[in-house]
Structure 1
Amino acid sequence: MSLKCLIIDDEPNAVYLLEVLIAQTTHWQLMGKCYDALEALAFLKEKQVDFVFLDINMPHLTGMELAALLPASIKIVFTTAYAEHAADSYSFKTIDYLLKPITLKRFLAATQKIEAAFTTNTPPAELPDQINNNYFFIKSGKVLSRISLDEVLYFEGEKEYVRLVTNKEELLVYRRLKEIEAQLQPPFVRVHNSYIVNTSLLSKVQDNHIYISSKQIPVSDKFRDGFMEVVTKRMF
């Protein structure tokens, strides 16, 4: 089976061993090797992979922290010298958990599990239905938080993340803003490439800016007409 994979590990010897095992025992395409989480995130913005071999103890971000930020489509094979993280690892899209040093026998067993995880033919993912209820769930890290739509002030896009802001908290989610937008309907309106706002909680609109709580948010030309269409329905 032809699969695309990425190795993420800060130990050169461990990376080399995986590289050799992949080359000698599989038909997979090794897309790259990253030696820390930040390098991996930058890599995955440019290239697509089916799964990653992910070390847990790394600088900047641990493997567990990185796993929480990976796109939902990417499956994970954890590689680590520490068995105590095994239970936590399965809160993600984990196929297997390989303890170092990885033996040939154990790697071959993992290849069977990996390929089995990709044998089911599923139709392309469709955009989820719009959210019509008054709440939804957001995954941030390993936590699923229940959020009331009425309390959301705005969503702010930050490259590969979206920041959800309420009066009580801020959550960072690995989603694209356009994916969030596809699930929402008025009073939530896109007003800028970086912002979706809850128009029911606006305090005022002035000089191409809106004010919500203590935040000033620009309204761009691209989204002004759609925004004003929603606002004028509430004008006297």
Structure 2
Amino acid sequence: MSLSCIIIDDEPNAVNLLEILIHQTTDWELLAKCYDALEAMAFLKKNKVDFLFLDINMPQLTGMELAGLLPIETKIVFTTAYSEYAAESYTFQTIDYLTKPITLKRFLTSTQKIESYFGKRRVVEPPTPQHEKEYFFVKSGKTLSKIRLEDILYFEGEKEYARLVTTTGQLLIYRRLKDIGAQLPLPFVRVHNSYIVNTRQLEKIQDNHIYIAGKQIPISEKFKPELMAVIQQRIF
């Protein structure tokens, strides 16, 4: 997918690494490399880009301060050595949050997320017929139970097992949480080493916890960016 972007970062080595990764792994057009926020603002006043790679820790204006000055629809991929800004970053139109040093594997994951983000907005998908319900069969002991995705509240990992909690009951599944998560589509998001939640069943987020059907579920820093990326799409 052909997209345009710019890099905003005061560290030349970080800029060079991103430039190499972009050229080697994508067909994106890198329109500019800006080494401070003021240079970036001057460029963006005259040029339109699809998204920007934005460092957080910069002189004069931080990445967060710059993001607050940009048009609200500006799409951002934050790049930083600090993980503690992840939750705050998703108060903007944030696509991803890359923690330095950025590895090739992590960058490739990010490219998929970025292209998926723009792809969903450029392609009009036909509506799913109301009579078609998404479901799968779960093996628990000797029984195969049909479970509708919309009825699932969350999965709770228990070593080699996972507890599936639905609106009507619970099942114990002999599968690891990691393997289950690999097969689940959105709106299912892993929020902790021990939990995958159905964000459509989410009631509220407060003090680094999710509340679903009265259950308080912790959010770990490791998985918070992915959760907030999903939540961001529905924040008014």
Name the TM-score, length of structure 2 as normaliser: 0.51
**Do residues 61 (structure 1) and 61 (structure 2) align?**
yes
What is aligned with 2:167? Answer: none
Contact 1:52/1:76, CA 8 A, preserved across alignment: yes
Within 5 Å, give how 1:89-128 maps onto structure 2: 89-121=89-121
Contact 1:54/1:78, CA 8 A, preserved across alignment: yes
Identity of aligned residues (%): 72
For the aligned residue pairs, the C-alpha RMSD in angstroms reads 1.3
What is aligned with 2:2? Answer: 2
What is aligned with 1:50? Answer: 50
Go from structure 1 to structure 2 and tell me whether the alpha carbon gap of 1:105 and 1:47 turns closer, same or farther (over 3 Å shift). Answer: same
What is aligned with 2:27? Answer: 27
Q: Secondary structure at the match of 1:119?
A: helix
Q: Secondary structure at the match of 1:33?
A: strand
Alpha-carbon distance in 2 for matches of 1:87, 1:42: 28
Alpha-carbon distance in 1 for matches of 2:12, 2:116: 28
Contact 1:54/1:77, CA 8 A, preserved across alignment: yes
Contact 1:7/1:53, CA 8 A, preserved across alignment: yes
Contact 2:77/2:97, CA 8 A, preserved across alignment: yes
Alpha-carbon distance in 2 for matches of 1:90, 1:28: 23
What is aligned with 1:130? Answer: none
Shift of 1:99: 0.5
Count of aligned pairs between the two proteins: 123
Q: Secondary structure at the match of 2:92?
A: coil
Unaligned runs of 5+ in 2: 124-236
Alpha-carbon distance in 2 for matches of 1:121, 1:11: 32
CA-to-partner distance for each residue in 1:119-171, whole Å, 9 max, x for gaps?
12469xxxxxxxxxxxxxxxxxxxxxxxxxxxxxxxxxxxxxxxxxxxxxxxx
Shift of 1:70: 1.3
Contact 2:52/2:75, CA 8 A, preserved across alignment: yes
Within 5 Å, give how 1:182-221 maps onto structure 2: none
Q: Secondary structure at the match of 2:42?
A: helix
Alpha-carbon distance in 2 for matches of 1:27, 1:99: 23
What is aligned with 1:75? Answer: 75
Q: Secondary structure at the match of 2:69?
A: coil
What is aligned with 2:11? Answer: 11
CA-to-partner distance for each residue in 1:100-122, whole Å, 9 max, x for gaps?
00000000000011011101246
AA at the equivalent of 2:19: E
Q: Secondary structure at the match of 1:95?
A: strand
AA at the equivalent of 1:59: P
Alpha-carbon distance in 2 for matches of 1:95, 1:82: 17
Contact 2:72/2:92, CA 8 A, preserved across alignment: no
Contact 1:54/1:76, CA 8 A, preserved across alignment: yes
Go from structure 1 to structure 2 and tell me whether the alpha carbon gap of 1:121 and 1:88 turns closer, same or farther (over 3 Å shift). Answer: closer
Contact 1:95/1:113, CA 8 A, preserved across alignment: yes
Shift of 1:72: 2.7
Unaligned runs of 5+ in 1: 124-236
Within 5 Å, give how 1:170-181 maps onto structure 2: none
Q: Secondary structure at the match of 1:68?
A: helix
Shift of 1:30: 0.2
Go from structure 1 to structure 2 and tell me whether the alpha carbon gap of 1:93 and 1:121 turns closer, same or farther (over 3 Å shift). Answer: closer
Contact 2:7/2:52, CA 8 A, preserved across alignment: yes
Contact 1:50/1:73, CA 8 A, preserved across alignment: no
Q: Secondary structure at the match of 1:66?
A: helix
Shift of 1:74: 2.0
Shift of 1:5: 0.2
Alpha-carbon distance in 1 for matches of 2:35, 2:66: 13
Contact 1:50/1:75, CA 8 A, preserved across alignment: yes
Alpha-carbon distance in 2 for matches of 1:81, 1:31: 24
Larger radius of gyration between Structure 1 and Structure 2 = 1
Shift of 1:73: 3.1
